[in-house]
Structure 1
């Protein structure tokens, strides 16, 4: 199975009339944040494939619509219509879902650096991670494994991140990978301007990939 992963930058190789030909063998699309919803909608309609995504710390205009706990009943109705008829995408924020046979959890946002929207302290991110645990335990019971892919915007602390506060990773992601052993952690947020820059690392049983711009993951189903 091939998964087209996108984050942070609208790639002209992807956002083009040739996308259907260029990525004809893709089964699913995952967005790791900082992309306009229209871009994800374009991929959904052009490729006619499942699209799952998280938000980053930019391009947050649609974020309130996907914050289910804060949305009014009217907003919820609008969200359902937009998701099915326009965006064509599934928001994975704070959720654990099975898409195309793959167990995926999503946690977007970045480290808090200026009190902007969708920014979190390490403590707040730890709380978000803990809220996933009941469903992960259910997955282990039913599917024999906790999780296949953790989709984030920010990277783990010390892996692919940078020292300036805005681009530091979350420490809790390291604990999460040790404890629940997802096969992959896919993230964006760290822009890659050098074609030779390292974007793939290993941490215990988890392969961490920076999917900035676009990255095609060749996922082997069990």
Structure 2
């Protein structure tokens, strides 16, 4: 399986008329957040491949629509709670934040836990305890996957990194220990994250924690794993 992974900043090699020529071979697109929905819309319209995403801590214009406590949607958009109708861009991606999706075509199980560590009063920021309980909400489905599919999860998609792995020392970019617990318990093959920008795009993006490969997919990154999923 070939996966185009994106996060944090748009890539001029993707946001171009040559997108299909460069990346038409990928099977799936995965975003770790902080990108505008219009970027996803462009990618989907050109590549016509499934796209899975979480929100980060920026580009949150449409966050309310996707969260479980969002106001009721209708065919035109959604109410912002103040009597104003917000119109949504045409979009076909799958939001996986706080849930798990099974991509039957590729036999791929993807779960997501977006957002960052709380560092101010901004949206989609969580304490360690809050992120832990968000993870616990996924546990019933994870055990269902184990029974039905023989494994808990293939890819955990996050925005922030795990604590002590690819993270930083400031409050905003500190990782979550919850993600270490998730890998201990449910052993996904990959944990894909963004959030920590890479000044040098040739810098190491990879780490391994027990049975899980951890990759910072800042801007763009290709995963080519013939043992992951199927056609």
User: TM-score, normalised on structure 1?
Assistant: 0.94
Classify 1:65/1:157 alpha carbon distance in 2 versus 1 (closer, same or farther; 3 Å): same
1:152-198 deviation digits (Å, cap 9, x = unpaired):
00000000000011100001100110110000000000000113311
| Structure 2 unaligned spans of 5+ | 79-86
Counterpart selection for 1:144 from 130, 150, 161: 150
Deviates more, 1:146-155 or 1:94-103: 94-103
Q: Distance in 1 between matches of 2:76 and 2:95?
A: 15
Within 5 Å, which residues of 2 pair with 1:34-45? 34-45=34-45
Counterpart selection for 1:96 from 100, 111, 122: 100
Within 5 Å, which residues of 2 pair with 1:1-222? 1-74=1-74, 78=77, 86-99=90-103, 100-219=106-225, 220-221=227-228
| Aligned-partner SS, 2:135 | helix
CA shift, 1:77, in A, is 6.9
| Aligned-partner SS, 2:61 | coil
1:60-117 deviation digits (Å, cap 9, x = unpaired):
001111123332253x8737xx88x811111111110112321000111000000200
**Residues 65 and 73 in structure 2, CA contact (< 8 A), matched pair in contact too:** no
Of Structure 1 and Structure 2, which has the larger fraction of its residues in helix?
1
User: TM-score, normalised on structure 2?
Assistant: 0.90
**Residues 157 and 192 in structure 2, CA contact (< 8 A), matched pair in contact too:** yes
Q: Distance in 2 between matches of 1:52 and 1:221?
A: 16
Which consecutive aligned stretches of 4+ in structure 1 deviate over 2 angstroms post-superposition? Answer: 76-79, 219-222
Q: Distance in 2 between matches of 1:96 and 1:196?
A: 32
Q: Distance in 2 between matches of 1:217 and 1:191?
A: 19
Aligned length: 218
| Aligned-partner SS, 2:46 | helix
Q: Distance in 1 between matches of 2:27 and 2:201?
A: 25
Provide the alpha-carbon RMSD of the alignment. 1.6
Q: Distance in 2 between matches of 1:35 and 1:132?
A: 24
| Structure 1 unaligned spans of 5+ | none
